[in-house]
């Protein structure tokens, strides 16, 4: 299930009930019917913990164990991570969590920050080159950057296999790669792809990957020097199958 929130929009989460509707239902007896709320802003998001007894953790999956603890009844805690995992305590052995991609983080263009009194120049495509989604993008673009004249973009399983040797991607799944591609296409690169009425699901997925690669290469978002971010010693999978 995926929820998309624009600036100022909110989504409630919890166990829910007929009298307590929630947008994100978490089926666990230890979770309150109305456990909390997330709110999107222009460049970050906020978490309100509506529990009176439990703290929630917000983890940065791309950081070295980096996390925030949001105490009970804390309203509107600002979350700085671009990609987050919200973890709620339960009575089971496994945790209950959901993931949040933040609104677009904006970065200054280092080549045009403006002089005194002048307006600052922002990057047209604000990507974090330390993020996993950028690794996914580099893996998608790798065949072109290595001048292999490929006839098809790498598939999602091929991207998973290519990144397997990276310390940050040891547990990367095909579903996670698909989420990163969606985030790149919809939020970071703002690409329009064929709609449901025009194509099937497989065609839409292929069209999205091709559009992401095309734009990234056309505007130099991914360049040859970025190949150094990929795990060494692994050749890209054969294309065109």
Rounded Cα–Cα distance for residues 162 and 42 (Å): 34
Rounded Cα–Cα distance for residues 222 and 126 (Å): 12
For residue 48, what is the domain's CATH number?
A: 2.60.200.20
Domain end, chosen from 101, 120, 155, is at 101
Residue 119: its pLDDT value, please? Answer: 53
Domain end, chosen from 101, 120, 148, is at 101
Strand partners, 84: 100
Q: Is residue 158 part of a domain?
A: yes
Q: Is residue 166 part of a domain?
A: yes
Three-state SS at 151: coil
Rounded Cα–Cα distance for residues 23 and 1 (Å): 10
Q: Answer yes or no: do 156 and 87 share one domain.
A: no
Q: Is residue 201 part of a domain?
A: yes
- The residue assigned the tokens 């990957």 is 209
Q: Is residue 26 part of a domain?
A: yes
Strand partners, 30: none
Q: Answer yes or no: do 97 and 137 share one domain.
A: no
Q: Is residue 198 part of a domain?
A: yes
Rounded Cα–Cα distance for residues 58 and 204 (Å): 32
Residue 121: its pLDDT value, please? Answer: 47
Q: Is residue 16 part of a domain?
A: yes
Residue 201: its pLDDT value, please? Answer: 58
Residue 110: its pLDDT value, please? Answer: 58
Domain total in the chain: 2
Phi, psi of 175 (to 5 degrees): -65, -40
**Whole domain around residue 196: which residue ranges?**
132-229
Q: Is residue 204 part of a domain?
A: yes
Residue 154: its pLDDT value, please? Answer: 93
Residue 48: its pLDDT value, please? Answer: 97
Q: Is residue 180 part of a domain?
A: yes
Residue 239: its pLDDT value, please? Answer: 44
For residues 13 and 22, the answer to whether their CB atoms sit within 8 Å is yes
Rounded Cα–Cα distance for residues 241 and 237 (Å): 10
Domain end, chosen from 101, 122, 152, is at 101
Q: Answer yes or no: do 92 and 148 share one domain.
A: no
pLDDT one digit per residue (tens) for the chain, 241 residues: 678 787 888 999 999 999 999 999 998 888 999 999 999 887 789 999 999 999 999 998 876 678 999 999 999 999 988 888 899 988 877 778 998 887 666 666 655 555 554 555 445 678 888 889 999 999 999 999 987 666 789 999 999 999 999 988 888 899 889 989 998 998 888 886 555 445 555 556 678 899 999 999 998 999 999 999 999 865 554 444 4
Q: Answer yes or no: do 84 and 137 share one domain.
A: no
Inter-CA distances, 71 with 25, 61, 67, 106, Å: 21, 20, 13, 28
Residue 200: its pLDDT value, please? Answer: 53
């Amino acid at each position: 299930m995926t929820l998309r929130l624009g600036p100022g929009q909110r989504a409630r989460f919890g166990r829910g009930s007929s009298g307590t509707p929630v947008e994100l239902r978490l089926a666990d007896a230890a979770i309150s019917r109305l456990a909390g709320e997330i709110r999107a802003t222009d460049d970050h998001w906020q978490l309100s913990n509506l529990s009176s007894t439990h703290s929630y953790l917000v983890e940065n999956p791309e950081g070295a164990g980096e996390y925030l603890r949001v105490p009970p009844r804390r309203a509107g805690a600002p979350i700085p991570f671009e990609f987050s995992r919200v973890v709620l305590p339960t009575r089971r052995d496994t945790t209950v969590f959901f993931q949040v991609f933040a609104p677009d983080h904006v970065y200054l263009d280092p080549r045009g920050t403006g002089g005194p009194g002048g307006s600052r120049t922002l990057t047209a495509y604000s990507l974090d080159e330390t993020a996993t989604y950028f690794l996914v993008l580099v893996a998608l673009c790798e065949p072109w950057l290595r001048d292999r004249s490929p006839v098809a973009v790498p598939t999602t399983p091929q991207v998973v296999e290519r990144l397997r040797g990276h310390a940050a991607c040891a547990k990367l799944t095909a579903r996670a790669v698909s989420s990163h591609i969606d985030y790149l296409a919809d939020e970071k690169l703002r690409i329009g792809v064929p709609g449901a009425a025009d194509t099937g699901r497989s065609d839409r997925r292929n069209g999205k990957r091709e559009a992401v690669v095309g734009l990234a290469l056309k505007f130099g978002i991914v360049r040859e020097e970025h190949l150094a971010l990929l795990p060494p010693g692994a050749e890209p999978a054969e294309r065109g199958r």
